[in-house]
Amino acid sequence: MFRRPILQILNKGGNDILPRLGGLWISCKVNESAGQESDTAEITCVRTAMTPLPNRGDEFTILGGWFDEGPVDQGRFTVQKIMLAGGGEDGDLFSVQLRAADYVDKMKGHTTKHYDDSTYGKIVKDIAKQCGLEASVDDDVANIKVPYRLRWCQSHIDFLTHLSEEVGAVCKPAGGKLIAVKRGGGKSASGKDLTPIQIMRGIVTGWDIEIEPRPETGETIAAWHDEKSGKRKTAKHKTGKKGPAAHLPHPYRSEDEAKKAAEADAYERGNDSASGDFKCMGLPHAHAEAPVIVSGFGSPLDGQWKAESVEKVWGNEAFITTVSVKAGKDDKGSKK
């Protein structure tokens, strides 16, 4: 059955700019990535002498989906740059490249500071305050202890990225807030539970999956220094597989830090055992970090994956979504 896509691009005043383009727009692309990377968008149009061009910093809200379901909010973006091209069969074109509006420039500011006897949540809130943002930290990671942390001439976002990776969290600006959630915890950057993405054989127009068997690890081990006893101790995290232990190279200052580092490493080891892309008829509610349920392909594709990125493209009476996946917690690369 033919489904009619719907797309709206609203300016700051809430008006849809597409009718004013008189059918000259060619495509609109929205890309959402897992982790700290900012979400992006790109609008491509035919250019005439009368076509108005937006200015850097102009804000647009993109809504899209299927006509019978109504438009779905795909994010708020600001103009970063405009690219012009011409000649050949396509004629004169211009594309507007945008970035998530919540990625404030203040996050790039550099400073030096140290934290004593703190927690991950307190550090995120402190940096959010410096950037003029409200902080929202998920309970799963808020109380992770950080006994000492030196920040030496690092930008806000660089410091938070490294700290978040160590404790198994994701932190980035979204929705006017600085959001921190557990990596692979099934929550969006807004902190809301993510609806699983259902990918069935009937809606897929193409796929490309690589299964890469890796040496299986039974557990990951992280060392930490116990100040009371003066001894080096270890924290372990089971991977759910059979195999030798993997030791993290650098020691941590507390047991809590070591536990979180071992857990994060165990997750990433399994997550990288398989990856690829599914190209489908548009999935307006799909988001990065969401669990992906694949069915109708048989083993080893069927099962649960995790969305690393989601690209949605509207254009030429079509709406296509490409979901880039990784293995998640499934044993896609394990020996059978």
pLDDT along the chain (336 residues), means of 10: 87 90 87 78 87 86 94 90 81 88 69 89 92 85 87 87 85 76 67 80 91 71 82 80 78 80 74 82 89 90 89 92 82 47
Q: Is residue 192 part of a domain?
A: no
Evaluate whether residue 334 is within a structural domain: no
Considering the domain architecture, whether residues 236 and 150 belong to the same structural domain is answered as no
Cα distance between residue 211 and residue 334, in whole Å = 10
Q: What CATH number does the domain containing 175 carry? A: 3.55.50.10
Picking from 112, 113, 146, the residue whose alpha carbon sits closest to that of residue 253 is 146
CA-CA distance, 199 to 194, in Å (whole number)? Answer: 15
Q: How would you classify the pairing of strands 303-315 and 25-33?
A: antiparallel
Residue 127 backbone class (left: φ over 0; alpha: ψ -120 to 50; beta: rest)? alpha
Residue ending a domain, choose from 100, 120, 142: 100
Q: How far is CA 16 from the centre of its chain?
A: 27
Q: What is the pLDDT of residue 125?
A: 93
Structural domain total, the chain: 4
The answer to the question of residue 187 being in a domain is: no
Which pLDDT value is given to residue 41? Answer: 93
Please tell me the pTM assigned to this model: 0.74
Domain final position from 79, 100, 121: 100
Structure tokens at 96: 């507007």
Instruction: Look at residue 255 and tell me if it is in a domain.
Output: yes
In the numeric block, which tokens belong to residue 222?
Answer: 């992280």
Residue 24 lies in a domain: yes
Cis peptide before 300 (omega within 30 of 0): yes
In angstroms, what is the C-alpha Rg of the chain? 22
Q: Using CB atoms within 10 A of its CB, is residue 316 exposed (0-12), middle (13-18) or buried (19+)?
A: exposed
Q: How far is the C-alpha of 266 from the C-alpha of 203, rounded, in Å?
A: 33
**Structural domain contains residue 188:** no
**Domain ranges, residue 175:** 105-182
Residue 60 falls within a domain, yes or no? yes
Answer whether residue 149 is part of any domain.
Answer: yes
- pLDDT for 195 equals 84
What confidence score (pLDDT) does residue 317 get?
85
Distances in whole angstroms, Cα of residue 295 to Cα of each of 203, 207, 299? 11, 13, 9
Q: Work out whether the CA dihedral 52, 56, 57, 62 comes out positive or negative.
A: positive
Residue at 189: amino acid letter: A
Residue 102 pLDDT? 61
Cβ(77)–Cβ(130) under 8 Å? no
Q: Are 191 and 198 in contact (CB under 8 A)?
A: no
